[in-house]
Amino acid sequence: MKKVLVIEDNKDNLRLITYALERRGYEVVSACTGEEGIELAARERPYFIIMDINLPGIDGIEATIRIRNSKVDGSIPIIAMTSYAMLGDRDRIMKAGCTGYIEKPIDPLTIIDSIHEIIKEING
Q: Mark the segment that binds another protein (CB under 8 A) among 35-43, 62-70, 72-80, 83-91.
A: 83-91
- Between CA 38 and CA 41 the distance in angstroms is 5
- By CB under 8 A, the residues from 24 to 53 that bind another protein are none
Q: Using alpha carbons only, what angle is made at residue 94 by residues 10 and 66, rounded to the nearest 5 degrees?
A: 70
Residues in the chain: 124
The answer to whether the beta carbons of residues 70 and 38 sit under 8 Å apart is: yes
Q: Does 86 bind another protein (CB under 8 A)?
A: yes
Binding segment toward another protein, per CB under 8 A, in 44-52, 58-66, 93-101, 105-113: 105-113
According to the binding rule CB under 8 A, does residue 118 interact with another protein?
no
Is residue 114 close enough to count as binding another protein by CB under 8 A? Answer: no
Q: Which of 29, 35, 54, 92 binds another protein (CB under 8 A)?
A: 54
Amino acid in the structure at residue 6: V
Per DSSP, 3 falls in state E
Among 3, 24, 68, 90, binds another protein (CB under 8 A): 90
Rounded CA gap, 67 and 97, in Å? 9
Q: Is 56 among the residues that bind another protein (CB under 8 A)?
A: no
Would you say 122 and 79 are in contact if contact means Cβ atoms under 8 Å apart? no
List of residues contacting another protein (CB under 8 A): 10, 12-13, 16, 19, 23, 54, 83-87, 90, 104-109
